[in-house]
Structure 1
């Protein structure tokens, strides 16, 4: 059983496609198929069920996957350990990201990281917060920036707060009366009309849902999208009021909209998470050290 074969196996398992796995590993598809078939023969049972449009893991494949990831992680850690000894940081760093990070520390952090460690291959993967936390726990990615859950820190991961944020109401400019223009909007007001906000797969959705539940109010999101720019486009069309992140750069100085605070306030955090209980790789440790340096 070779590391290269395990790399191909993990790629097929994550991509659910031999074609996509071959593209990810920069080899032709027959090479992937032959290696997987040889691995199945070696282990004595099939690892994938070949369906018309995708492949899925068999029970044997499910059993092998955590061992394969652990082997690859151990090999990568050994390589990086000796890269550390030589003073030349290299390897890879896979980061998950949610939307709305343009105005945070993340772009400048990654820019400085690239300048200092050009031999580290950094890859970004976008998804919802719950999905990214799961990928970090499983070791599929090294770390992620997510919306922290309202009830504390995400379980099974180490974390560091990146941004303290709040939810605001966004409505067409001039749509509130003069006497209300400078006052916060209550949650009771919001339930009277169509609401545009994040979908249930977003970590931000949990903060909004819990705030309404605490007031015993029913929240019906008529138009659910995690794309803040699309939320505002729907507001501009007069469809409803958006509940969105105040830190989003698309809210800055747009005369079409009034940005109104909420009463009570709905506060949230975006946090950087990585796998707990495991020694962080050298590239991840370097990123955390650089973050500390830039923050200071």
Structure 2
């Protein structure tokens, strides 16, 4: 059983397609198919069920997948370890992000990280907070910057608070004084423009409205704050967006007002607690602890 074969197996499992797996691994499809067939013959049972437009894992494939991922991760860690022993850290760091990353300390840390470890390939993956949590759990992400998970029954996700944010109301310029707070009852009187149901922030909004005996009814949903503002300028409704978003201050076509009661949430740096961090992630934590004392603390 070779590492390359396991790499092909994981690629097919994650892509659900031999064609997409071949493109991901930069090989022709017959090469992928031949390796998988050889692996199935070696293990004595099929690993995939070939359907019309996709392939899915069999029970044998499901059993093999975590072992294959562990083998590939161990091989990568070993290669990175010996690169570090040679004086130059290599490997990759997959970092998931939601919008508003520029409002945290992460860009500054990544700048210094690049100056110290230029050979590490940092892949920034944009997605909603729930998708990032899924990426942490399935191992496709090393860490993520996102809205704090509202619950983690398994207690496998560690977090450190980067930013305490709050939700504000955004209206067309001139329609309200900036210091005139808006109640949630007032917000409910207008069409609401805010995040989609796949966003972590949407959950905090729904909870806050429910706690005040109100139902959050969203007329237009988009996870792009810039698009939310564009809809506001068309007098479609009121946007509910994070105060930290840099596009709010830059757009003079709108006015930003506080909400009462306030709706706050944490933006956090998150990682897996139930397995050792990769060497590149450990180096990132070391840099964080050096640059910002307490970088390894406040795990909850």
TM-score (norm. length: structure 2): 0.91
Distance 1:81 1:125, change over 3 A: same
Distance 1:107 1:54, change over 3 A: farther
Matches of 1:153 and 1:107 in 2, distance apart? 31
Q: How does 1:246-261 map to 2 (within 5 A)?
A: 246-261=243-258
1:206 corresponding residue in structure 2? 203
CA contact (8 A) 1:49 1:57 kept: yes
Matches of 1:69 and 1:287 in 2, distance apart? 22
1:140 corresponding residue in structure 2? 140
Residue 56 of structure 1 deviates from its aligned partner by 2.2
2:286 corresponding residue in structure 1? 289
1:168 corresponding residue in structure 2? 168
Residue 58 of structure 1 deviates from its aligned partner by 2.2
Q: CA RMSD in A?
A: 1.9
Distance 1:249 1:121, change over 3 A: same
1:96 corresponding residue in structure 2? 96
CA contact (8 A) 1:150 1:268 kept: no
CA contact (8 A) 1:80 1:89 kept: yes
Gaps of 5+ in 2: 294-300
Secondary structure in structure 2 of the residue aligned to 1:261? strand
Q: Deviations over 1:29-54 (max 9, x none)?
A: 22112111211222222222233333
CA contact (8 A) 1:133 1:154 kept: no
Matches of 1:38 and 1:75 in 2, distance apart? 21
Q: Deviations over 1:213-244 (max 9, x none)?
A: 11010110111111111111111111010001
2:213 corresponding residue in structure 1? 216
Residue 107 of structure 1 deviates from its aligned partner by 2.5
Distance 1:152 1:51, change over 3 A: closer
Matches of 1:87 and 1:11 in 2, distance apart? 31
Secondary structure in structure 2 of the residue aligned to 1:35? helix
Gaps of 5+ in 1: none
1:12 corresponding residue in structure 2? 12
1:79 corresponding residue in structure 2? 79
Q: How does 1:260-279 map to 2 (within 5 A)?
A: 260-279=257-276
263-272 or 37-46, larger mean C-alpha shift: 37-46
Residue 273 of structure 1 deviates from its aligned partner by 1.1
Secondary structure in structure 1 of the residue aligned to 2:168? strand
Q: Deviations over 1:31-90 (max 9, x none)?
A: 112111211222222222233333222222222111111111122222223333333211
Q: Deviations over 1:137-188 (max 9, x none)?
A: 2222211111103468993112211221111110101123xxx652211111
CA contact (8 A) 2:179 2:258 kept: no
Matches of 1:25 and 1:111 in 2, distance apart? 29
Matches of 1:234 and 1:223 in 2, distance apart? 9
1:129 corresponding residue in structure 2? 129
Q: Deviations over 1:248-293 (max 9, x none)?
A: 1111232110101111111111111111121111100111222233
CA contact (8 A) 2:178 2:256 kept: no
Matches of 2:152 and 2:69 in 1, distance apart? 29
CA contact (8 A) 1:93 1:122 kept: yes
1:225 corresponding residue in structure 2? 222
Equivalent residue for 2:234, pick from 232, 237, 242: 237
CA contact (8 A) 1:132 1:146 kept: yes
TM-score (norm. length: structure 1): 0.92
CA contact (8 A) 1:148 1:154 kept: no
Matches of 1:57 and 1:100 in 2, distance apart? 37
